[in-house]
Copies of this chain bind each other. A is one copy, B any other.
Amino acid sequence: MKRIVIVGGGFSGVYAAQALERLLRRDDQVEILLFARDNYFVFQPMLPEVISGTIGLTDVVSPLRRLLKRTHVHAREVESVDIDHQAIMVAPGFRPHAHVVKYDHLVLAPGTVTDFRGLPGLPEHALPFKDLGHALEVRSRVIRALEEADVEDDDPELRRQLLTFVVAGGGFSGVEVAAELNDFVRSVARHYRRIDPKEIRVVLVHAGDEILPEVAPKLRAFAAKILRRRGVELVLRQRLKAATGESAILGDGTVIPTKTLVSTIPSSPHPLIDALTLPKTKNGRLQVDGQLRVSGFDNVWALGDCASVPTKDGTPCPPTAQHATRQAKVAAENIVATLTKTPLRTFDFKGLGKMGSLGRRNAVAEVFGLRLSGFIAWFLWRSIYLSKLPGWGRRIKVATAWTLDLILEPELVELRLGGTGGAMHEHFEPGQLVFSQGEIGDRVYILLSGEAEVVRTPGDGTGDRILAKLGAGECFGEMALLDSAPRNASVRCVRAMTVLSIPKREFGLLAANVPGLRASFEQVTARRVLPAKPEASPPQ
């Protein structure tokens, strides 16, 4: 009995499993296992439509079990790969015990991740746009921001943050997200009577001179024109450098106030691939040969975005679905050929074209040697992707949803995801307030790096006084929580800082039950309440 293990439930992994199922139809001596984090396959091209809810929230995904009748699907994350022992380690499920799965052939297809490491504040405050969870989260944040802006009519700064939506990355993915988000927010805003459409800003930040570098210059200009006409601001030749809970900070220091920041870049190797000591290109993709074997191995295969697949003209394949699905087919055939000791095939595919949606009834496309834009490109986009959706059921649902969307208004329901959340990191930039005097305490903070100052504004109009400076290791904000009183001072960032912020509920649970934690905070409080000098004294 031979075992083929596929890691990854995207285009490449799923299509490889399907091809293997077909090729091994009559062979019961080979089992196929597929490991994916989620139990569904995401049809990436339609993911941005989840933001507006044009199609049903789960129409863009297909259950893996529905697509793969014979493959044994494990909805579990793979934690590591041990090439020497021909095994993978699988994350535990309900019962936390380790799973080791041996393989005869391994297909690596976990794709890439959006990795914000090294960009201050992005891991905490920016959202990637890779899977269904991200799309639902963007949707929820946008609706939440509108709801809040409708109520908060007395704080212009907060309204600016709430009503500005920033997308970073001007490739296909970023452009489609920006277009969809812009259409959605502008079409539903009229239901919020205290929001003036002019207050809404949708900003697309792109490092290059033109958006959509993937397509011909004429189409780039067309896309830019359409987006601008619909109200998207294009900020070009700029990179996202940092983020806080209330702003996006660009390379030249420009601060865009926003509570909703989506970034489709940078694309980095999947941690699983990153941890492997296999031959890689300098951008971290696995080096494979024309037969899709990882260089030096005859039972380890890599495909999709995690691999650098050579084409006949020597250039590597671009990371697109059309290439991934063709690679999957070749890899499956070659695995079977290896098992049956027949000659292997060499991958060769030039690509059929490129398409990008610009939102309602508009798109750009380069297909069959033609450059199309506008309604016809959009119609082509819908037709082609609809036909590529896996399964008739899914196609009928999406076609129905698109039809209903012509006559019905967009959805506005805010699904609350993520629950209460626990302790987390937050990033602040100089000048930014962590909290203001008079607010209700809802979190405590531990300063991990950087510097802050405690400021009190007396009621007598004598001007702000700086009560204390805070450095790494100090905690603040605990008094308001312990006393349930409003914050008695503001805390303002002086040097860019990272803090650990613990929500009230969490802190309450821990402080009530961990003696050391309570003591730790009480010490700090005591030190501040009985200060040596009056001006280095009681904060929050």
A-side residues, CB < 8 A to B, are 38-40, 53, 56-58, 61-63, 65-66, 72-76, 92-98, 132-133, 136, 143, 147-148, 150-152, 155, 158, 162, 191-194, 259, 393, 396-397, 400, 404, 407-409, 411-425, 435, 438-442, 446, 448, 473, 475, 486, 500, 502-503, 505-506, 509-510, 513-521, 523
Contact = CB atoms under 8 A, between A and B. Distances in A.
Contacts of A475: 514
A58 B53 CA distance: 10
Contact of A72 (B193, B421, B502): B193
A191 to B, nearest CB: 4
Contacts of A448: 513
Contacts of A415: 57-58, 132-133, 136
A5 to B, nearest CB: 14
A445 to B, nearest CB: 10
B513 A39 contact: no
- Interface pairs A-B: 6 shortest CB-CB: A516-B520, A422-B422, A63-B412, A516-B516, A393-B408, A65-B191
Contact of A513 (B56, B396, B446): B446
A115 to B, nearest CB: 18
A58 B411 CA distance: 8
A41 to B, nearest CB: 10
Contacts of A407: 396
B516 A39 contact: no
B143 A39 contact: yes
Nearest to A246: B94
B95 A152 contact: yes
A419 B416 contact: no
A506 B423 contact: yes
Contacts of A505: 422
Contacts of A421: 419-420, 422
A58 B440 contact: no
A152 B94 CA distance: 9
A74 B151 contact: yes
A438 B94 contact: no
Interface centre among A93, A393, A422, A440 (most CB of B within 10 A): A422
A441 to B, nearest CB: 7
A483 B284 CA distance: 30
A416 B66 contact: no
A152 B75 CA distance: 12
Nearest to A422: B422
Contacts of A510: 423, 500, 502, 510, 517
Contacts of A420: 421-422
A151 B76 contact: yes
A38 B409 CA distance: 20
A459 to B, nearest CB: 16
Given A40-B414, A65-B192, 19 more contacts: A38-B416, A40-B413, A57-B57, A75-B147, A75-B151, A93-B148, A93-B151, A94-B162, A96-B442, A136-B415, A393-B408, A422-B422, A422-B505, A425-B509, A473-B515, A500-B510, A506-B506, A514-B520, A516-B518
Contact of A66 (B93, B397, B409): B409
A172 B72 CA distance: 39
Given A147-B75, A417-B419, A97 B500 contact: no
Contacts of A435: 96
